[in-house]
């Protein structure tokens, strides 16, 4: 790999920006494929770029094309992340399921009665207020933000940070009426143009009402959003 491409891959990994290196085995020519651009000396067809991006989303390295072994794709993608605000019953079900699905999960809740290791064993917990926690964690294009506290003092802070970020998914728990009030508050905060990014009511409409069923619906919607980009 040429030095310029190597430096770009290192920079992408540091910035948590997924990148795929496509190499033509016959002569070593290479291309870098991101979700939003392509660079390098190797020219790829639109179909090859599309397949490479599909591999990148699933972090699956391998030969490009079912019957063509002349091109090899090496994916450099860290696991997607999920930031959950509110260590509520839904979070107790969602966090382990999301981890099983390959997400790095962090639950934020400054309320001592909720944010305990007893309630969420084995889950990375942050007891700061959401704006402070997210400032430390950062939000990139491989991050899903899920607000479940149902408390505007917590959820609005997280949503404000998420709407100003490239997060691929933003979801908020609450009824249609609750969300309408939320929209009013966030519009007054100057975020009106971005509010369409919020999935609310959160989750796919699977019909379930129990916390674990809502958690399944949320995770399903997050997965759908990730692969539909």
7: which residues sit within 8 A by CB, 6+ positions away? none
The vertex-166 CA angle with 13 and 187, nearest 5°, equals 160
Same-domain pairing of 72 and 85: no
Report pLDDT for 169.
98
Same-domain pairing of 72 and 86: no
* Rounded CA separation 224/229 (Å): 9
Query: Which residue in 140, 91, 95, 144 sits closest to 122, CA to CA?
Result: 95
CA 56 from chain centre, in angstroms, equals 14
Same-domain pairing of 182 and 202: yes
Domain-ending residue, one of 43, 76, 109: 76
Same-domain pairing of 106 and 214: yes
Report pLDDT for 60.
87
Same-domain pairing of 97 and 179: yes
Report pLDDT for 129.
97
**CA dist 59 to 1, 8, 118, Å?**
20, 18, 33
Mean pLDDT of the chain: 93
Same-domain pairing of 199 and 221: yes
Domain-ending residue, one of 76, 101, 130: 76
* Structural domains of the chain, count: 2
CA-only gyration radius of the chain, Å:
20
Structure confidence by residue, pLDDT tens digits, 42-98: 999 999 999 999 888 888 899 987 656 799 999 988 889 999 999 999 999 999 999
Same-domain pairing of 160 and 49: no
Same-domain pairing of 131 and 164: yes
Same-domain pairing of 63 and 94: no
Same-domain pairing of 61 and 140: no
Same-domain pairing of 30 and 115: no
Domain-ending residue, one of 41, 76, 111: 76
Q: Which domain holds residue 16?
A: 3-76
Can you give the pTM of this predicted structure? Answer: 0.81
Same-domain pairing of 208 and 162: yes
* Rounded CA separation 83/135 (Å): 12
Burial of 90 (0-12, 13-18, 19+ CB in 10 A): buried
Supply the CATH number for residue 148's domain.
Answer: 3.40.50.720
| Strand ranges (E), 29-164 | 30-33, 38-40, 62-63, 71-76, 81-85, 104-108, 124-126, 143-147
Which segments of the chain have a pLDDT < 70? 66-68
């Amino acid at each position: 790999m040429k030095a310029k491409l190597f430096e770009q891959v290192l920079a992408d990994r540091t910035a948590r920006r997924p990148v795929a290196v496509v190499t033509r085995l016959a002569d070593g020519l290479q291309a870098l494929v991101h979700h939003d651009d392509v660079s390098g000396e190797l020219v790829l067809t639109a179909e090859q770029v599309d397949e490479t991006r599909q591999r990148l989303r699933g972090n699956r390295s391998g030969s490009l094309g079912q019957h063509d072994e002349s091109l090899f794709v090496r994916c450099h993608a860290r696991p997607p992340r999920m930031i959950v605000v509110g260590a509520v019953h839904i979070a107790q079900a969602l966090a382990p399921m999301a981890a099983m699905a390959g997400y790095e999960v962090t639950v934020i809740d400054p309320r001592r009665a909720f944010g305990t290791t007893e309630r969420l064993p084995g889950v990375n917990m942050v007891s700061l207020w959401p704006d402070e926690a997210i400032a430390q964690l950062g939000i990139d294009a491989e991050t899903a933000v899920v607000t479940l506290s149902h408390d505007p003092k917590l959820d609005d802070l997280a949503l404000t940070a998420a709407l100003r970020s490239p997060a691929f998914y933003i979801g908020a728990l609450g009824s249609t009426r609750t969300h309408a009030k939320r929209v009013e508050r966030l519009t007054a905060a100057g975020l009106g143009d971005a509010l369409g990014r919020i999935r609310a009511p959160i989750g796919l409409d699977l019909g379930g009402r129990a916390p674990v069923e809502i958690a399944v619906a949320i995770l399903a919607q997050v997965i759908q959003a990730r692969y539909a980009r």
